[in-house]
């Protein structure tokens, strides 16, 4: 596997940053589906797809979302072209016979162990949400991930049946560069990592 170009590294990581203000420009359903077809290939535990994605675009849907948002996240989320709810699918194991046939008992393993099911669903939906951000940047989109919302209120509004549990949100669109603020610093390697 060859290393990506410097330009690609800049677009996906080095020059990219979280965005709070977006252009008034639609993110089409075609682009959203293209995004899915890219990010779905990111690696997960036992090839599971434990995320459920809700792409909130319309004004009526945004108004349903608004009460669950913390005050500091309301205006920017209502103005963003799309807000993605990255949720955990607590019944992801139903697909295991197709997605991981190498272990015939995988479905039953998760079905019979709710602690394992829940931790696997949360961990891998988090992974998939991160892949979605990287894939979005590859397609020229900008992202503003958030965890500042009332999970119980959001789940009651959008997932009342209980199968899906919200993990985090991502505002999605095309950045308004004029309103961007400088990216914050990150810790050096020595502050958070060791090689042994």
Q: Are 191 and 112 in contact (CB under 8 A)?
A: no
Asked if residue 95 is part of any domain, the answer here is yes
* End-to-end C-alpha distance for the chain, whole angstroms: 26
Please check whether residue 19 lies inside any domain of the structure. Answer: no
Range of the domain at 134: 42-173
Q: Does any domain span residue 48?
A: yes
Residue 159 lies in a domain: yes
DSSP, collapsed to helix, strand or coil, labels residue 79 as helix
Show pLDDT as tens, one digit a residue, over the chain (196 residues).
999 999 999 999 999 989 999 999 999 999 999 999 999 999 999 999 999 999 999 999 999 999 999 999 999 999 999 999 999 999 999 999 999 999 999 999 999 999 999 999 999 999 999 999 999 999 999 999 999 999 999 999 999 999 999 999 999 999 998 777 788 899 999 999 999 9
Residue 152 is inside which H or E element, if any?
A: helix 151-158
Q: Is residue 144 part of a domain?
A: yes
Task: Name the 3-class secondary structure at 23.
Answer: coil
What pTM did the predictor assign?
A: 0.95
Residue 82 lies in a domain: yes
CATH code where residue 132 lies? 3.40.109.10
Residue 178's pLDDT is: 79
> Which DSSP category does 100 fall into?
-
Count of domains observed in the chain: 1
Place of tokens 């990592």: 193
pLDDT of residue 183: 82
Buried b vs exposed e over 74-108: b needs ≥16 C-beta within 10 Å?
bebbebbbbbbbbbbbbebbebbeebbeeeeebbe
């Amino acid at each position: 596997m060859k290393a990506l170009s410097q330009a690609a590294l800049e677009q996906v990581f080095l020059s990219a940053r979280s965005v709070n203000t977006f252009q008034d420009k639609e993110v089409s359903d075609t682009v959203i589906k293209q995004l899915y077809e890219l990010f779905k290939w990111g690696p997960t535990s036992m090839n599971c797809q434990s995320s459920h994605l809700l792409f909130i675009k319309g004004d009526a849907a945004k108004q349903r979302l608004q009460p669950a948002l913390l005050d500091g996240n309301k205006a920017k989320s209502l103005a963003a072209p799309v807000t993605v709810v990255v949720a955990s699918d607590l019944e992801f194991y139903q697909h295991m016979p197709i997605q991981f046939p190498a272990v015939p008992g995988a479905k039953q393993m998760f079905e019979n162990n709710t602690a394992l099911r829940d931790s696997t669903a949360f961990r891998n939906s988090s992974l998939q949400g991160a892949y979605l951000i990287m894939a979005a940047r590859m397609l020229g989109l900008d992202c503003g991930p958030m965890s500042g919302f009332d999970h119980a209120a959001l789940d009651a509004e959008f997932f009342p049946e209980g199968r899906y549990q919200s993990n985090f949100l991502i505002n999605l669109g095309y950045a308004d560069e004029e309103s961007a603020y400088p990216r914050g610093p990150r810790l050096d390697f020595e502050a958070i990592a060791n090689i042994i």
